[in-house]
Structure 1
Amino acid sequence: MLRFSGFELDSERAELRTSDGGTIRLRPKSLEILRLLASNAGRVLSKQQLMEAVWPNVHVGEDSLFQCIREIRTALGDGKRQVVRVISGRGYLFQAEVTEVPVPAAPEIAPVSQPVPVASDTKATVEANNEPAKRLFDFSRRRIAFASVAGLAILCTAIAVWMLRPGLIFARGPTTIAVMPMTDASSDPLVAQMAADVSSRLTDGLAKIENIRVLAPETGAPKADFVVKGELQKSEQAWSIRMRMTNTATGEVTWTASYQVNPADTDLQMQQSRLAAGVGHALALRINELLNADGPSATKSKVVIEQATAHINQTSPERFQAAQAILEKALAEDPDNVEVQVALAALLMRGVQMVWLGTDEREAAETKAEAMLQRTLRAKPNYIPAHEAHCRFLNATNQFSASLVACARALSFDPWNGIALYHVGLAQIQLGRFEDALATFKQADRFDTPQVSRWTWMIGAGWANMLMGRAEDAVPWLLKSIAITAASGRTHMLLAAAYQQLGKTEEARAAMEKGRELRPGSTVQNVPTPRKNSSPVYIEAAERIMQLMAAAGLPEG
């Protein structure tokens, strides 16, 4: 075991523990990188060394390593990057005193006592008298051996039947996927280069997913469980991508998707990112769905959840209540349905965050959501929607550091998950890390998946800019968020604060009036988010924004 900075890393049990014995959850890859760094404390390890040790013979991009380093720093509370240091141009250095502690040895087994010697004549008499017993004992041993073999055969048969049962697609171990080079129907070199770049981005993203392996296409396609192929086309209006995933054993097409990007809206790098993310996000969700399939009940759950989601695409308290009624009814009919539990827990947390619930209702919603999420995480520990909802729950209940870890867990199964990225940004804001939060929201915007949540990371980027006093940069983000979802009063109020800081008092009052119309009863006292566990840096910056809102017309109380 390795001890450092108040932590204990137990390699045998694969655990990172705090000084009081509490366990910190880390993904296996992150735990392995931490072990390598701590075992080589004071020595610089290059990125290549770490990647080759943790992902041997697997194609991964540097983003996979960066994500693990972020998770390790969060777990160690290393926000200032003083424990895991970057040595420019060389790699990473573990800057902490590490003590190696021997693992307690297993208790010794007492030696078997030796037989007591007897005289030869006595021995002959004893053997003669024991002959019938010996034969009986030999016969019993044969019966026991036969029964053991028969039992083992039955057990092996049962295991084989279980592993080969229909629907268990990924029972053999990590699923292997080969992403074939993307094709294009034209002879345009620009299209060919674009196809190659999008393929590379898609492959790098899939390589970050924890429970699958991505094989190099030139060597891996015949051996892969699934092969992903696609085509890229360009017209005057859009880049269009079509993808499909095929089961190599059966030839069955298990997933298809298409996506379009308008070249006029973004630069080339953004277009590549959104094309890869648009199909990659859908593919990651499909893989996760297959891994966690429950059979026919999952189809019914999906329909119910889609009905509820349709009610909350345009945010309002009335639509929230309608969606809640749909999910409550479905859960009453099927109390153990994991998918519905996750959807209801996520919805309840949305109600808490949007301040649509009173104090008593809020506490009841939090208790109910936490209980449902704990059950779902035990039932399906790798299920993306459960981790998304857990990530949101921890944010809504001001457990910001834990939320960063939970959100990273969701991203380990879908690196293009904009919802998880948005909640990472929210936690970073509350912890006073505004620049990191802005970068996170911009990353979510580069992926733009799922598009239904686009307005959230846009308001996040506007908020982060406002917290840093950059009203001019905040306004475009807030206006784009309002253009997508105009029913969020908080966005209008932030816009009012931005206009007020820029000296545009008429625009500020108009925006505040709209915000108060959408959120009646709003005052300086009830608009701020709860400050429990928030950084003093955040509290100070948030207070400046509230003063601007008050100047724009938000009542004091």
Structure 2
Amino acid sequence: METPRRIGRCVLDPARGALRDEAGLEIALRPKSWDMLLVLARHAGRVLSKDELLDAVWPGIHVTEDSLVQAVRDIRRAIGDAEGRVLRTVAKRGYLLDIAEAAAAPDRPSVVVLPFAHLGADPSQAWIADAVADDLTSVLARVRWLFVVARSTAFTFRDTATEVREIGRRLGVRYALEGSLRSDGDRLRVSCRLVGTEAGHHLWSGTSEGSAADIFAFQDEVTRRVLAAIEPALLESEASRAVLARRGDPSALELVRQGIWHFHKVTREGHATARALFVDATRRDPALCEGWTWLARVSAGRIAYGWAEDRAAEGAAAIAAGLRAVELDDRDPYAHYAYAIASAYAGEPQDTVRAGETVVAMLPFFALGHLVRGMGLLFAGDAAPAAESLAQGLALNPDDPQNFVWQVLRAVALLVDGRPREAREAAMQAARIRPGWRPAFEVAACCAMADGDRAGAASFAAKAAALPLPSGDVLAPFRARNPGLATRLDASLAEERSQPG
């Protein structure tokens, strides 16, 4: 197998048949330009004459040198080499390509979306299976921490019985998304599963059903559900890999992956360990966007949960880290999310709303974008759209370990919007996720009181009183900017506690 190589700002991967930019997105090249790039790459560092190139790229065909010059222009445009420093013209001799050996995004998790099988009786609907796989490939390619194999390469495995571990070995990828479309008249069902190619183990599986009468809406729904489910599954898998590996001298990105694993424990010790790892990662590689992104996230979390030793200093650090992440990669939705969550707990809620809207515009199926936008709207006192945005985010990612916080925020938004019954259910969802978290029962008590259920309110208030006070207040920014509403909630809770048991 030919080794991937870095060419200018791009990575050439002959085995996968792809030339990709620094974000992992495939760059299109005309067939003969691609052939010439491969020839030049195989003879990198050596001058190839025009005759050698013409014979290699157009064997047995007479073409003028204009075709050669056009292919050179195509390659230089693709690799960002307008001045000809990488693909050099050597006067009166030919062309020379200067490239270096470089694995194609070695630290990024890699995934291939395999062709979906069509299991229906109507062959005219087989195209839908291809369309779903195409959509998933395109959307996953926009997730900047992923390396996604090009569709043209993935589809070479159509109608083959190649085992997934063999596909992983051939393509050099760690994950494969495979699936099938079953059609029965107007009814469609897509089944998907995410598989780790090293051991062949399943990380996630799911199904979506819909109607062929509204095929484009069905495709969008499948893409939304799959992306929302597999992205956190991939992130969790990569974090576990990094923790298990624990190399003697890990790279900055490996430190970030280890930190993510500790971050998702959602404990004081876990956040402290994660923050130390993220700080170390930013020192080792100040240009690594992921390090600053996660540093902003963990710092905001430590403030929200009351685990920050110096709230003001950590808040300033969170904002600075979020801004640095956006500076390094303003096309990364995670970077904008990091700035949004930092702004929520250490800045201005309107900044949170704007950054959240940027995230949603970049990646509409990214749950955290909707969630942080809803948080900003709630903290700014705009309850109705806050509740809607939070509901969208929770629907996109129902398994996030921090959903107990998002559910309580949604409960408060619904309560302020005059929907106490819905608010109570959201608060109880938070209590189901984190049964020992006092704020869930306190908010549930307020909701029950507002709904006229005094007995229920007293029961929730008693449960809350039996639990330890949290070290922080996730609703602190809401209270600070909406003192009237906060006073009403606190008064309601005080009234419930005073009721006879």
TM-score normalised by L of structure 1? 0.51
1:126 matched to which residue of 2?
none
What are the equivalent positions in structure 2 for 1:101-116 lying under 5 Å apart?
none
Alignment of 1:166-315 (within 5 A): 166-167=102-103, 182-185=116-119, 202=136, 230-232=178-180, 240-242=191-193, 259-261=204-206, 273-279=224-230, 297-298=251-252, 300-312=254-266
Selected match of 2:339 from 390, 411, 420: 390
Residue 421 of structure 2 corresponds to which residue in structure 1? 472
How far apart are residue 429 of structure 1 and its match? 1.6
Over 3 Å counting, the alpha-carbon distance change for 1:281 and 1:352 in structure 2 is closer
Cα shift at 1:403: 1.5
Helix, strand or coil for the counterpart of 1:552?
helix
2:298 counterpart residue number: 347
* 1:281 positional shift: 6.4
Q: SS of the counterpart of 2:428?
A: helix
Q: Structure 1 residues 180 and 328 mapped into 2: Cα distance closer, same or farther (>3 Å)?
A: closer
SS at match of 1:392: helix
Whether the 8 Å CA contact 2:360–2:369 is kept in 1: the answer is yes
Letter in 1 for 2:495: A
Tell me the equivalent position of 1:548: 492
Q: Of residues 401, 418, 424 in structure 1, which corresponds to 2:373?
A: 424
Residues 1:323 and 2:279 aligned together: no
Percent of matched pairs sharing the same residue: 16
SS in 1 for 2:283: coil
Deviation larger for 511-520 or 160-169: 160-169
Report how many aligned residue pairs link the two structures. Answer: 362
**Counterpart in the other structure of 1:455:** 404
1:311 CA drift (Å): 3.1
CA 1:468–1:408 in structure 2 vs 1: closer, same or farther (change >3 Å)?
closer
Q: Which deviations, in whole Å up to 9, do the C-alpha atoms of 1:473-493 show, x marking residues without a partner? A: 112222122111223322221
CA contact (8 A) 2:352 2:373 kept: yes
1:490 to 2:439 alignment: yes
CA-CA distance at 1:552 after TM superposition: 1.9
- The code of the aligned residue for 2:116 comes to M
Equivalent-residue separation in structure 2 for 1:521 and 1:178 (angstroms): 43
Give the gaps of 5 or more residues in structure 1: 1-151, 171-176, 246-251, 287-294, 313-318
Cα distance, 1:240 vs structure 2? 4.5
The alignment status of 1:446 with 2:395, answered yes or no, reads: yes
CA contact (8 A) 1:182 1:229 kept: no
**Gap change, CA 1:517 and 1:336, over 3 Å in 2:** farther
User: For residue 477 of structure 2, what is the aligned residue in structure 1?
Assistant: 530
Deviation string 1:185-214 (CA, Å, 9 cap, x unpaired) is: 56599x9899689658747856987999x9
8 Å Cα contact 1:342-1:373 kept in structure 2:
yes
The separation in 2 between residues aligned to 1:344 and 1:211, in whole angstroms, is: 16
Unaligned runs of 5+ in 2: 1-82, 90-95, 157-170, 183-188, 210-217, 238-248
* Separation in structure 1 between the aligned mates of residue 457 and residue 409 of structure 2, nearest angstrom: 19
Contact 2:252/2:282, CA 8 A, preserved across alignment: no
For 1:162 and 1:285, the matched residues in 2 are separated by: 38
- CA distance 1:207–1:430, change in 2 (3 Å): same
Residues 42-72 of structure 1: CA distance to partner in whole angstroms, max 9, x if unpaired? xxxxxxxxxxxxxxxxxxxxxxxxxxxxxxx
CA contact (8 A) 2:478 2:486 kept: no
Partner Cα separation in structure 1 for residue 112 and residue 257 of structure 2: 31
1:369 is matched with which residue? 318
Please give the alpha-carbon distance, in whole angstroms, between the structure 2 residues aligned to 1:444 and 1:187: 37
Q: Normalization by structure 2: what TM-score?
A: 0.56
